[in-house]
Structure 1
Amino acid sequence: MFKKILIAIACASLLSFAAEDPVSVVKSKDVELQNIIKKSKRTAKETERVKNLLNDSFDFALLAKKSLAASDWKAQDEASQQKFVTEFQRMVRNSSANRLELYRADSTIYEPAKMKGTDDARVVAHLWNKGKESVLEYKMTLVNGKWKAWDLVIDDLSTARNYKEQFSKILKDKSFAELIDIISKKADEAEK
């Protein structure tokens, strides 16, 4: 009897640590984001909350890595990679918080998650704003038991691919350190 109770407790504990469904994760963040976006004027605290929502939603280390050609990423030492991730995250957070109107929706329908194994998922959301539909696809991975997006595809335009193209052009003429400086300046500009 005691063994059965221990097994039941162990099973319940494992279930409580199981990752939430990726669609539920996207929906919960979206509901909070939509509530903030619908306000005509946002406070500094609400803008900071948007940035935190983005932080909680994205795996910036993976997005940053996928925003570079594999050879460009591998050519950097760990300190340069980390500096790139930090500045890239700051740039994306700040610029996304300033362009929230892109995410405004009157209604949203989510498709069931398309799973690839147990650690990768794609969540597709159909957003309607003033009768116009946009399709967002979140490419997600499981990080420490939490679903995080590493790419956001908006109407077939991949965020990671877009950055990769931009950064490849910059790296043809400039060094990796100069790329980090450019990203850092963009992050500073978007923070104002």
Structure 2
Amino acid sequence: MIASLLAATLLAAAPAGPLTVVKSGNADVQKAANAPGATAASLATVVEKFVDFGELAKRALGDKTWATLTPAQQKEFTDTMTGLLRASYAQKAIGQAQAEVKYGKEAVQGNEATVNTTLTLKKDQIPVDYRLYRTSAKSEWRIYDVVTDEVSLVDTYKGQFRKLLGDKGFDGLLTTLKSKRAQLEKENAAQSAKGGAAAPAPAQGTGG
């Protein structure tokens, strides 16, 4: 009996699997998005419980570029991108609040995983894959990338970062990101003041 109780305790304490993380995360987002007076800011608080914006930003920048930055630059970049991603991701979540989600396969390879889903929005069916990671076998799974209709969010930002780094350097990239973040946060604040949800972002990117 003691052995059974111990096994049950260990099972209960085990981190949720990737599919469970994605399911519960989507459920929480839909609930928050459908709440009266939902805003991008209120959704962002829910989203960042299961999406690791910092990891997404780091992977989009690339290990080689990341390694050339000072700790202060790494922190400033991560903070800026986290603010930008919170705003844009939450805006998109509001736009998809009424969508129906069908869950497919969960694939796990070591500390990386992919969860396949299909999003039905009106008459459109859109494949959406979530990529997750964990730091160890005992750590929680966190989403770091969303692939919509075969377009990866990390890869999209990576391409934009590469061009901006080539044209303007790191300081220019950071300035562009700060400007985009300020623009989104201003839009969100204006919508919050009106007591309504922000309009869904047409695309997630750094802009011009």
Fold similarity call, TM over 0.5: yes
TM norm structure 2: 0.79
Residue segments in structure 1 that go unaligned for 5+ positions in a row: none
Partner of 2:91: 98
Which of 9, 22, 28 lines up with 2:24 in the alignment? 28
Which of 77, 87, 112 lines up with 2:80 in the alignment? 87
Amino acid at match of 2:169: S
Rg larger for: 1
Q: 1:152 to 1:106 in 2, by over 3 A?
A: closer
Name the CA distance, whole Å, in 2 between partners of 1:84 and 1:130: 37
TM norm structure 1: 0.84
User: The residue matched to 1:174 in structure 2 has which SS?
Assistant: helix
Indicate conservation of the 8 Å contact 1:113/1:124, yes or no.
Answer: yes
User: The residue matched to 1:150 in structure 2 has which SS?
Assistant: strand
Query: Could you give the per-residue CA deviations for residues 142-183 of structure 1, whole angstroms, max 9, x where no partner exists?
Result: 257222111100001100000000011100122313322221
Amino acid at match of 2:24: S
Equivalent residue runs for 1:162-177 within 5 Å = 162-177=156-171
Query: Could you give the per-residue CA deviations for residues 38-74 of structure 1, whole angstroms, max 9, x where no partner exists?
Result: 46x7345xx3331012211212222111111332111
Indicate conservation of the 8 Å contact 2:106/2:115, yes or no.
Answer: yes
Which of 9, 13, 17 lines up with 1:17 in the alignment? 13
Residue segments in structure 2 that go unaligned for 5+ positions in a row: 187-208
Equivalent pairs counted in the alignment come to 184
User: The residue matched to 1:20 in structure 2 has which SS?
Assistant: coil
> How far is the alpha carbon of 1:10 from its aligned partner?
4.1
Which of 72, 76, 79 lines up with 2:69 in the alignment? 76
Which of 148, 155, 171 lines up with 2:142 in the alignment? 148
